[in-house]
Copies of this chain bind each other. A is one copy, B any other.
Amino acid sequence: MHVSVVQNVLKMNDEIATMNRQILRKAGVFTIDLIGAPGCGKTALIERTLQELKHLRIGVIVGDLTTHRDADRMARFTEQVVQVNTGKGCHLEANHIREALTHIDLSRLGILIIENVGNLICPVGFDLGQDAKVGMFAISGGDDKAAKHPYIVMESSVLLLSKMDLLPYVPFDLELFRSDIRRLNPNVPMLELSATTGKGMEPWLKWLGERVKQAAPVA
């Protein structure tokens, strides 16, 4: 009984995610689901991305348990921010996105960034209707985190390693981390950057920009 109920929940989620995907693709909005541990730097990355890519018209849906701190931070750089408070919920689900989309004017967007709840595990299993999952790690989290969280590594279209500016101050074996990524997902681009200093942001902004071009509105 328990298993069948869980399957129903996931099936319903997938159906709503498919609807979200249709709506977003029809509008020509390239959508990413940004997944990473609490404190890996998701919000800082989005803030800098919003500033650097103003011309691409980026909207944001932010998942958090209770506060709207991240949404407030990002509202300084874009008019289209929707906060989803999940309460005790550890991840966003497709119905959260469906509801959030009713508050967004998609005709004015080129990119939608969904900042998932800070969690490297649970968000991976729930399709939201995104075009790409983006997994994020941080230097300060330690060099074993890719190996310890294989599902996010395997399911991501691009992986980010952030807080590179902290590399001199913590023990972190960059070659070990890179080899774990290669073993789990041999072809995924792995971008090393610091949203604080801006170093390494260029390949990430280029990756986003190229995908927006491919996401022209479907007639």
Query: Do A66 and B140 have beta carbons less than 8 Å apart?
Result: no
Query: Do A65 and B119 have beta carbons less than 8 Å apart?
Result: no
Query: Do A138 and B69 have beta carbons less than 8 Å apart?
Result: no
What string of 1s and 0s marks CB contacts (under 8 Å) between A118-161 and chain B? 11111011000000000000101110110111110000000000
Q: Could you say which residues of chain B place their CB within 8 Å of the CB of A1?
A: 5
Known: A148-B67, A166-B169. A125 touches B88 (CB 8 A): yes
Q: Could you say which residues of chain B place their CB within 8 Å of the CB of A9?
A: 2
Instruction: Please pick, from B119, B166, B171, the residue contacting A119 in the complex, using a CB distance under 8 A.
Output: B119
Least distance between A122 CB and chain B CB atoms (Å): 5
Within 8 A of B (CB), among A38-59: 38-40
A170 at the interface (CB under 8 A from B): yes
Instruction: Please pick, from B69, B118, B170, the residue contacting A147 in the complex, using a CB distance under 8 A.
Output: B69
Known: A163-B140, A166-B140. A151 touches B88 (CB 8 A): yes
A9–B6 alpha-carbon span in the complex (Å): 12
5 closest cross-chain pairs (CB), A and B: A39-B141, A140-B140, A90-B121, A37-B38, A90-B122
A32 at the interface (CB under 8 A from B): no
Within 8 A of B (CB), among A55-113: 64-67, 69, 88, 90
Q: Could you say which residues of chain B place their CB within 8 Å of the CB of A124?
A: 88
Q: Could you say which residues of chain B place their CB within 8 Å of the CB of A67?
A: 144, 147-148
Instruction: Please pick, from B39, B88, B163, B171, the residue contacting A121 in the complex, using a CB distance under 8 A.
Output: B88
A140–B54 alpha-carbon span in the complex (Å): 28
A117 at the interface (CB under 8 A from B): yes
Closest-by-CB residue of B relative to A137 is B39
Query: Do A145 and B38 have beta carbons less than 8 Å apart?
Result: yes
Instruction: Please pick, from B2, B5, B145, the residue contacting A39 in the complex, using a CB distance under 8 A.
Output: B145
Least distance between A197 CB and chain B CB atoms (Å): 12
